[in-house]
Amino acid sequence: MAMKKFINDPANLTSELLEGYVQAYGDKVALAGDRTVVRAKCKDESKVAIVTLGGAGHEPALSGFVGEGMLDASVVGDIFAAPGPPPVFEALKLMDRPAGVLFVVLNHAGDLMSANMAMDMASKQGLNVRQVLTHEDIAPGADSPAEDRRGLVGCVPLYKIAGAAAEAGKDLDEVCRVAEKFNAQMATLAVAIKTATHPQSGEEIFALADDEMEVGMGQHGEAGTGRSQMMTADQTARVMVEQLAKAVKAGKGDKVLLIINGAGATTLMEQFIIFRAARKVLAEAGIEVARSLVGEYLTVQEMAGFQMFVAKMDDELLSLWDAPCDTPYLTVR
């Protein structure tokens, strides 16, 4: 089928969507420059700032989580494409402060190159920035080298954890420490069942047969680890939960944060059904779902599928998770 989307000139997608976004949530976010989303009301300079970067087309991620208790700035690229190093460096400079900046980067080649370049510039100019790289995709195997593992929806809870520590006035070392602790204890697995069209080229980002699903599919149509026949919700959840629990070494008595992140066209109805099934499998293993999210946090246009995220939680992480936040797409009172 031809691409059917409510858009105008494909060249203006990112600027139009950002314009709409900051208008829609003008009480919470604003644009700094063309492509950097910042809080409407800046955080106190005495607190560590949290900055991230990434391509557009995954809404509400990443900019949907700019706001109290989470991000301070999100530098946005074009659809599925990293922003260049200069705007990233500019954002780091804008957020620079004695308390320092935590810079969260998702492991994707383009993002990483821009981030590294910007970090180089930042260190040359003496900015106080520390980088955390997320790479929690376990599709290539939980033990494969970090550089082969992509950063998926795990960035969102990591913003929350790090953001809460920063908001609480922790210093950069502490904010880094909790972010890295959480980073080391999280894992995501994605599954796709229907493709999406790239809103600029109008082309399908991958192809799957009518009765096929693919576990491990990346969030831009990158090939996964294995195609199989379509399974039921219960079967799919079991396959995924077992790999995830193993990856984070969760066992009897452990507490986890479980996130079901819809890719775009998969309904909340299905997500709840998957969530219920995932809880069941975890319960069988004696693992407690201490906290959870179900919904669309990082999407892949109108792709059908979802990401399942599991992180092992301790009391410190739980209390950071429970701290209030107020962003357009995640609010905790």
Ligand X SMILES: Nc1ncnc2c1ncn2[C@@H]1O[C@H](COP(=O)(O)OP(=O)(O)O)[C@@H](O)[C@H]1O
Residues lying near other proteins in the complex (CB under 8 A): 77-78, 81-87, 109-110, 113-114, 116-117, 120, 147, 198, 201, 218, 221-223
Tell which positions 116-155 bind a copy of itself, by CB under 8 A.
Answer: none
Element (H, E) at 104: strand 101-106
Per-residue mark of binding to a copy of itself, 202-221 (x: CB under 8 A): --------xx----------
Is position 60 an interface residue for a copy of itself (rule: CB under 8 A)?
yes
Structure tokens at 214: 């693919």
Query: Per rule CB under 6 A, is residue 110 in the interface with ligand X?
Result: yes
**Pair 74, 94: CB distance under 8 Å:** no
Please tell me the distance from the alpha carbon of residue 226 to that of residue 178, in angstroms, as a whole number.
34
Query: Token pair of 143, please?
Result: 């033990």
Residue that has been written with the tokens 């507490």 in this structure: 255
- Give 140-146 contacts, CB < 8 A, sequence gap 24+: 140/216, 140/225, 142/187, 142/243, 142/246, 142/247, 146/107
Q: Does 283 bind ligand X (CB under 6 A)?
A: no
Does 230 engage in binding with a copy of itself (CB under 8 A)? yes
Residues 164 and 321: their CA atoms lie apart, in Å, by 7
Among 275, 307, 310, 321, binds a copy of itself (CB under 8 A): 275
Angle between helices 315-322 and 155-167 (to 10 degrees): 80
Q: Looking at beta carbons, which residue is closest to ligand X?
A: 109
208, 195 contact by CB (below 8 A): yes
* Nearest-approach distance from CB 180 to other proteins, in angstroms: 23
41: tokens are: 């009301």
Partner interacting with residue 16 (select from other proteins, ligand X, a copy of itself, none; CB below 5-8 Å by kind): a copy of itself
Residue 260's closest CA among 222, 301, 298? 298
Q: State the nearest-atom distance from the C-beta of 24 to a copy of itself, in Å.
A: 5
Least distance to other proteins, CB of residue 29, Å: 23
Is 109 a residue that touches ligand X (CB under 6 A)? Answer: yes
Question: What string marks each residue from 162 to 201 as x (binds a copy of itself by CB under 8 A) or -?
Answer: -------------------------------xx----x--
Kindly state the smallest distance separating residue 86's Cβ from other proteins, in Å: 4
- Report the interface residues with ligand X, using CB under 6 A: 109-110
**Residues identified as active-site:** 58, 220
